[in-house]
Structure 1
Amino acid sequence: MCVGLLSYTKMQGPPPLNVPQTTVYYGADNSPIGEHHKGENRHWVPLSEIDPNVIDATISIEDRRFYSHWGFDLTRIGGAVIANLRSGSRAQGASTLTQQYARNLYLSHDKTWIRKWNELLYSLRLEMNYDKDKILEGYLNTVYYGHGAYGIEAASQHYFGKPAKQLSLAEASMLSGIPKGPSYYSPLFDLDRAKNRQAVVLQSMVQNGVINQVEADEAHLEPLNFIQNELERPADVGPYFQDVVEQKLIEEVGIDPALIEAGGLKVYTTLDPKIQKEAEYWVEREMPDNELQTALVSIDPRTGDVKALIGGTNYVESPYNRAVTATRSPGSSFKPFIYYAALENGYTPASTLLSEATSFSIDDGRDVWSPTNFNENYAEDFITLLQAMAFSDNIYAVKTHLLLGTDKGIELARRVGIESPLGDHPSLALGTSNVSVLEMTRAYSAFANGGHKVEPRFIRKIVDADGEVIYESEPELVQVLDPKLAFIMTDLMTGMFDPYLNAHTSVTGRSISHLLNRPVAGKSGSTSTDSWMVGYTPQLVTSVWVGFNEGIKLDHASYGQIAKNIWANFTEKALEDQPVMEFQKPDGVIGVKMNPENGLLATEHCPTHRTTYFVEGTEPTKECPAPENSEEADAIDEEAHEKEKFLQRFFKWFGH
């Protein structure tokens, strides 16, 4: 039988070394937004022009018996069969370099026994008609190393700016670990993960006897200088978005990375090319030409569809995705989570607290913390929750956080989709725990859509080379908030753009309110190193972050308005062809004309008023007193001070 099989494969002749198809990404309008090529940026070099470390590393990690088998490794196949029988799956592979080369050239990448059999036949044809060095040369010149680099020469030039024959052991072992998962193990995406993979490659070389342990350890410790030479024109639309799609294809959908490289897939995404181009335009227009970075994510809160995503100012210079991978302190843009928890626990927009310089006893009385307002600007009086949101009063936020219990804000943030670690401490009210831009956009979506937690969706469906739909998704929304309170929260967040609320200070959105011509809600945030703007309409939730990569202090006088400007201009332009929509008030919510300074019903005695919304039955019932009725005014003032005295006792009792 073996003789017959070998004779058959020999008679078939040498298989053609053809080039696979292209995987195409499509936007929400089904127009092509990018391609994942096989056959571009492939700089063919003979085996003699490839550093021996690359050859040794590749054989050690992929196929140690490459020079002794006939295209397949019975020992590895036996081990894989046993592993698969034990697990009840076909997840464990045993492919040799020849089989991988054959699969990439001629076959699909689905894990079926028929495909494995055909792979074996093609491998035998390759082995019967080409020598080992020719097969190895072909593999090294066609395998994908990520970022558009096909083949070891293109990879070496892209990552290290040098030809493949000049690679060091450290560089060769790093590159040789990438093909197992080009987006997963790319050092430009996740250096720690890539270093761990490099260590595995080096240990395989030690076990294969081509280097010793000292050489392996020295190579792993050697610093690497990544040049990132441009090899290809970046994707036309949304290159950072497309990187996320590729990662999700592998990690969440379960597509074999080799299938993506072989091509032929049609991946239909949620990205809106028009909206994405607006995002890219405003980032380019507003960002200065220096090291300052930005990130932007825009989601349709009704579906969770990601419509635009930017992970940095220049994808070619830095493909690191600051929108998804990086986490930074959100500052005051975290406050809505605290305030929604307050609404759940008895607060209303009319609830008042004293805004003045305050020191808090923390850590069971072992320390004192004295947060400040921006420019140390305090009302020196009671302010309402409506004002606290519009002015971003830090003292009001910290008092609320401590009065509720520091777990309440954390629980709410978790409920709406914040997954990053959150510190259970007083300063969380001021946004001191790091989160990602994608998380913030997802979390604010629950305020915009009537209380539904959304799952950010990047991929709608995938069609294979035969036209079969192999994956399809639907929007995922779960009701996690009370629609009435979500609407009230939204109404509170419109206050930052309402100059009518200006009092002892101005509303925080005053600089961009003139740019907005439709109902919007949102919250800005800043720390010493970060500037945020998160806001929304009923159709679109967008987060913008601005800062430096390494957490360098941000000159807010120069750069503090950039995130707001990008957000406001982008929001207006992205929706200019869409109808102006109001936030829909649910049943059980009532609007009253309230004096924003004291939370009382506005009358002719205090004509300053704003229509503010409450759960029916919790709206103010007391009217502003007449100026001459000093006795009633004194009574109201005394009542307010009694509330504050209770809070002070509360903080003292519980160590705050």
Structure 2
Amino acid sequence: MKFWQIYKEATKQQKIRWIKKWGLIASGSLVLSFIGLLLLAKLMGPPALLVPQTTIMYAADGSKMGEINNGGQNRYWLPLKKIDKDVIKATISIEDKSFYKHNGFDFKRIAGALLADIKAGSKVQGASTITQQYARNLFLTHEKTWRRKFQEAFYTLRLEMSYSKDEILEGYLNTIYYGHGSYGIQSASRYYFGKNAEELTLAESSMLAGIPKGPSYYSPILHEENAKKRQEIILTSMAEDGSIKKGKIKNAVSEKLTYVQEEDEEVAAVAPYFQDAVMRTLKKELNINTNSVQFGGLRIYTTLDPHMQEVAEHTIENRIIDNSNIQTALVAMDPRSGDVKALVGGRNFKESSFNRALQARRAPGSTFKPFLYYTALEHGYTASTPIKSEPTTFAMADGVTNYKPKNFKNRYANDFITMAQALALSDNIYAVKTNLYLGPDKLVKTAKKFGIKSELAGIPSLALGSKAVGVLELTNAYGVFANGGKKADPVFITKITDSKGEVLYQHEYESEQVIDENKAFVMTDLLAGTFDEKLNDYTSVTGSSINHYLTRPMAGKSGSTPNDSWMVGYAPQLVTGVWVGYDNNEELHDVNDTGYSKRIWAYFMEGALKNKQILSFEQPEGVTAVTINPQNGKLATESCPVTRISYYEKGTEPVEFCDEHGVSKEIKEKLEKKEEKKGFFKRIFSW
């Protein structure tokens, strides 16, 4: 018996030693595991805060023009200093009173919650800290498994070790769900009360702080009674904390709150085709992927001028009066910078998102002629160069094909006209003769210099705009004339920042001198002739139907084909192109169809520049002004019934006086003196 007792005692001691031994091993392992976990969390560094956020587009004046979000989830990021203090106090009071004291886990609260759950026999009380909730919102699902709880604890450690308490609180308030598609306090504040999160009252702050516990159950819109009870609990908690005085509870609870349910504007509600152009720029030119745009909370600053855009849309709506399927596109740019100020790609974005300003390619007709006549200036032509306008059949180089262009309504001068008249009257015979004389390949090269990227061909009809181009590229090409020969590429985006204001992209403005400055100014004068009825001849100048609308110096050219109607032109600070036609290439029906583009252009230009400084085109030093007879391009005399000031590169201006209406004695004497100064051979040559 004594032996048995000794054996039992020895066995007991052995068990105690075994328990102690393995207890120490287990404890050590736990401590080492915990230390290892801390080291791992430290080594891994801060977790990437991949929080989906709403991307916002801004117009040039800083106004918001559109948003891009994730499936109706509105998310904005506000720095903590821009969030109302009562929201912060209310959130901490109800969600995590010891937030600034613990290191991510409130063990006292955990113990209390466990005890409460045991007593109730079910889970009745939560113990998650703000950091834990933030970790869950950022990285985890809401499934209730031990694996998810371990991951949550690990992310909580990483957050606490890598970010300050204020940074964690800021992140939490910007990511928590407040119901009705609103993530973050700014979105919630705008949705429920129509104001920014820094403008909330105590009553509004305490109401919003109660929603995350049950976004549907505590929604003041769906269940106001539940929300009011929760609000009172929060206010009482704040008073107990000393965050507010007890006397404020009653006032805040009794304050009548108005819920505006502010729905954010749909994406593309403002300037939808312009926004489409911005999206294309982001993806194709700046290589910003779709996920970054949709979820990255970017701030995209654009070149859009809201006033000009409104004028463009209003003009199109009020100038196209029929209900047919006729379509239009308009692009307006600052030729000095390339900034696109307004863009319309169709009559109704909801019915058709096809962006005709960017995607359509249509024959430009006579709007292509300025590039031909610039080429002519490079090869010795001037505004006074005469060519005969008459029905003409051109035999092609193959010896078989004939080309017989026609003027509008088969009207011809059947006489010589000047290049200034040819452009103003849009004479096709003069254009084709000039193209063939110079060689069509030269026109192709010139167009490329202006930035025309569409495929062209060196054929006679290219002078009449037979090859399709885009509205944006043609408008930008005219901007070269307006900008003194300098080409600036189209700009839609000036700057992109992340949600915290860090600059991700900044546009650097630059321009390139692609054509001669003097010749560019001469071309502007020629294009201004479109509106000058002093150049009328066998028909009226093509701008005669709209020149009475224009109140400032402008230059431009209209163009038409059976299927397309164009008008492109500019003032010194704005160049605009307008196209009108049918998507299916249906022929234009009547005078209204063909006249829309001119009227839209004129009304838009005047409306867009209203109250803007009236600027004149700046004359370079290498250009001289001469008074001529517009009917023959010769120097005008006192006898000429009509005179016009025309511009020439110095050394190319006409020297011959007009003698069609008689020569005054004074002019005759000048001519005789000039003849006397000439040598014999020069006189013979002149003769």
Is 1:249–2:276 an aligned residue pair?
Answer: no
Q: Counterparts of 1:349-364 in structure 2 under 5 Å?
A: 349-364=383-398
Relative to structure 1, the CA distance from residue 399 to residue 263 in structure 2 (aligned partners, 3 Å threshold; closer, same or farther) is same
Relative to structure 1, the CA distance from residue 352 to residue 626 in structure 2 (aligned partners, 3 Å threshold; closer, same or farther) is closer
Is 1:569–2:603 an aligned residue pair?
Answer: yes
Q: Distance in 1 between matches of 2:392 and 2:434?
A: 13
Is 1:236–2:243 an aligned residue pair?
Answer: no
Largest Rg, 1 or 2: 2
Q: Distance in 1 between matches of 2:480 and 2:71?
A: 44
8 Å Cα contact 1:234-1:315 kept in structure 2: no
Q: Distance in 2 between matches of 1:438 and 1:558?
A: 24
Q: Counterparts of 1:39-438 in structure 2 under 5 Å?
A: 39-40=71-72, 129=148, 233=266, 235-287=268-320, 288-438=322-472
Deviation at 1:30, TM superposition (A): 1.2
Q: Distance in 2 between matches of 1:433 and 1:478?
A: 26
* Aligned counterpart, 2:56: 24
* Aligned counterpart, 2:541: 507
Which amino acid counterpart does residue 305 of structure 2 have in structure 1? D
DSSP-derived class of the 1:485 partner: helix
Q: Distance in 2 between matches of 1:266 and 1:234?
A: 14
DSSP-derived class of the 2:577 partner: strand
Which amino acid counterpart does residue 523 of structure 1 have in structure 2? K
8 Å Cα contact 1:601-1:622 kept in structure 2: yes
* Aligned counterpart, 1:33: 65
8 Å Cα contact 1:37-1:263 kept in structure 2: no
1:528 to 542, 562, 576: 562
8 Å Cα contact 2:626-2:647 kept in structure 1: yes
* Aligned counterpart, 1:647: none
Q: 1:149-196 CA deviation, whole Å, 9 max, x = no partner?
A: xxxxxxxxxxxxxxxxxxxxxxxxxxxxxxxxxxxxxxxxxxxxxxxx
Q: Distance in 1 between matches of 2:519 and 2:509?
A: 23
Relative to structure 1, the CA distance from residue 513 to residue 126 in structure 2 (aligned partners, 3 Å threshold; closer, same or farther) is farther
Q: 1:526-576 CA deviation, whole Å, 9 max, x = no partner?
A: 001000000000000000000000100112423111000110000001001
Q: Over aligned residues, Cα RMSD in angstroms? A: 3.1
* Aligned counterpart, 1:551: 585
Q: Post-superposition, which runs of at least 4 consecutive aligned residues in structure 1 deviate over 6 A?
A: 1-5, 118-121, 123-127
Which consecutive residues of structure 1, in runs of 5 or more, have no partner in the other structure? 10-14, 43-105, 108-117, 131-230, 634-656
Q: 1:357-411 CA deviation, whole Å, 9 max, x = no partner?
A: 0000114222011100000110010000010011000000001111111011111
DSSP-derived class of the 1:284 partner: helix
Q: How many residue pairs are counted as aligned between the two chains? A: 450
8 Å Cα contact 1:276-1:309 kept in structure 2: yes
Deviation at 1:476, TM superposition (A): 2.5
Deviation at 1:19, TM superposition (A): 7.8
* Aligned counterpart, 1:581: 615
DSSP-derived class of the 2:495 partner: strand
Q: Distance in 2 between matches of 1:627 and 1:575?
A: 42
* Aligned counterpart, 1:493: 527
Which amino acid counterpart does residue 238 of structure 1 have in structure 2? A
Q: Distance in 2 between matches of 1:252 and 1:382?
A: 49
Relative to structure 1, the CA distance from residue 440 to residue 611 in structure 2 (aligned partners, 3 Å threshold; closer, same or farther) is same
Which consecutive residues of structure 2, in runs of 5 or more, have no partner in the other structure? 1-31, 42-46, 75-133, 150-263, 669-687
Deviation at 1:289, TM superposition (A): 2.0
8 Å Cα contact 2:66-2:266 kept in structure 1: no
Which amino acid counterpart does residue 294 of structure 1 have in structure 2? T
Provide the TM-score with structure 1 as the length reference: 0.65
Q: Distance in 1 between matches of 2:533 and 2:33?
A: 85
* Aligned counterpart, 2:213: none
Q: Distance in 2 between matches of 1:337 and 1:126?
A: 71
Deviation at 1:466, TM superposition (A): 2.3
DSSP-derived class of the 2:635 partner: coil
Provide the TM-score with structure 2 as the length reference: 0.62
Deviation at 1:121, TM superposition (A): 7.0
Is 1:560–2:598 an aligned residue pair?
Answer: no
Q: Distance in 1 between matches of 2:64 and 2:324?
A: 32
8 Å Cα contact 2:140-2:148 kept in structure 1: no
Relative to structure 1, the CA distance from residue 41 to residue 120 in structure 2 (aligned partners, 3 Å threshold; closer, same or farther) is closer
* Aligned counterpart, 2:17: none
Deviation at 1:41, TM superposition (A): 8.3
Q: Distance in 2 between matches of 1:367 and 1:478?
A: 41
